[in-house]
Amino acid sequence: MAKVTVTTKHLLSVPDLTPDEIRGLVERARDLKSETNTTAPLQGKTVALLFEKPSLRTRVSFEVATANLGGNCLYLSPQEVGIGGREAVSDVAQVLSRYVDCIVYRCFEHKNLEELAQYATVPVINALSEIEHPCQTLADLTTMLEKRGSLRGTVLAYIGDGNNVARSLAFGAASVGMTFRIASPPGYELSTEVLKQAAQIAAANGGQIEFLRDPVAAVEDAHVVYTDVWASMGQEEEAAKRQAAFMGYQVNPELMEQAAADAIFMHDLPAHYGEEVPLGFLDHPQSVVFDQAENRLHAQQALLEALID
């Protein structure tokens, strides 16, 4: 499949992309995984990684993806920039726009991401905020397509916190005609606003959104079972409270037995063993977690290729 053309300048949220663009990027990522790169579409281009949070997969996949496409990558740590503190977000956006061709921003506050995009004259990519993680969703959909051959009609059961990963997954699954089920304990569910928006997207694209409390009911006959940590970065002080609230929401061999016989297990990592998964569960026969992690690289290549023109 040839390079995908997108209408959005920035990727801050999954709905910034049309359903056709999401499908195109996912298919392109799958193809890039098996193709030998004979072109260098980012030759002479520079991507800045502006990170407020630590990262393994996001940083490495963006750096390698940029190099694979012939471009240069520049990592900027929190200490070097001090965005929103030592230097105004708007000033950082305008300065970096004079130097680089794309800004990949991993931040604590989504409002800073929106302000950066407002003032930047180059594409801005959300590499994780407290609201969404769209790059993870593109990799996740790539993995599901790779393993199942088709996305439409796939039932995805997400067990756990209605966090940034869950929001992006709900929007992404809805856009490609999947059924997205989420089971969360009281007080940790996706907001009514997010569920309503995802349901509207799903209705227009042949998908469905379902909210449940019972994780067993959520995974029944599901094709994909997905979970994430109970306490994300920045929520460490809530860890004990969250651990109590999420008891019974662990994805383990017993829960996987309730899913479809050929179901796959996914986790965006890092995993907290003994909490959302038992020790060693990432090596379960139905786990595709490390393929999923690899696909961050291929999805990032497809996205960079599409946004940097």
Q: How many residues does the chain have?
A: 309
pLDDT of residue 234: 66
**Beta bridge mates, 158:** 182, 226
Contact call for residues 261 and 222 (beta carbons, < 8 A)? no
Distance CA 19, CA 23 (A): 6
| Parts of the chain with a pLDDT under 70 | 233-234
Q: Is the pTM of this model over 0.85?
A: yes
Q: Quickly list DSSP for the chain.
A: -PPPP-S-S-BSSGGGS-HHHHHHHHHHHHHHHHS-----TTTT-EEEEEESS--SHHHHHHHHHHHHTT-EEEEE-HHHH-BTTTB-HHHHHHHHHHH-SEEEEE-S-HHHHHHHHHH-SS-EEES--SS--HHHHHHHHHHHHHHHS--TT-EEEEES---HHHHHHHHHHHHTT-EEEEE--TT-SPPHHHHHHHHHHHHHHT-EEEEES-HHHHHTT-SEEEE--SS-TT-GGGHHHHHHHTTT----HHHHTTS-TT-EEEE-S---BTTTB-TTGGGSTTB-HHHHHHHHHHHHHHHHHHH--
Q: Give percent of the chain with pLDDT exceeding 90.
A: 90
Amino acid making up residue 280: G
Q: Using an 8 Å Cβ cutoff, are 170 and 202 in contact? A: no
Torsion angles phi and psi, residue 159, rounded to 5: -115, 115
Looking at residue 85, what is its pLDDT?
80
Cα–Cα distance measured from residue 101 to residue 142, given in angstroms and rounded to the nearest whole number: 25
Domains of the chain (ranges plus CATH)? 14-132+295-307 (3.40.50.1370), 136-293 (3.40.50.1370)
- Spatial distance between the Cα atoms of 180 and 266, rounded to a whole number of angstroms: 14
Q: Are strands 102-106 and 155-159 parallel, antiparallel or unpaired?
A: unpaired
Distance CA 79, CA 191 (A): 34
User: Taking CA 158 as the corner, what is the angle to CA 224 and CA 205, rounded to the nearest 5 degrees?
Assistant: 75
CA distances from 109 to 14, 204, 205 (A): 17, 30, 30
> Is the link from the previous residue into 186 a cis peptide, with omega within 30 of 0?
no
The amino acid sitting at 201 is I
> What pLDDT digit, counting tens, does each position of 204-242 carry?
999 999 999 999 999 999 999 999 999 876 677 788 899
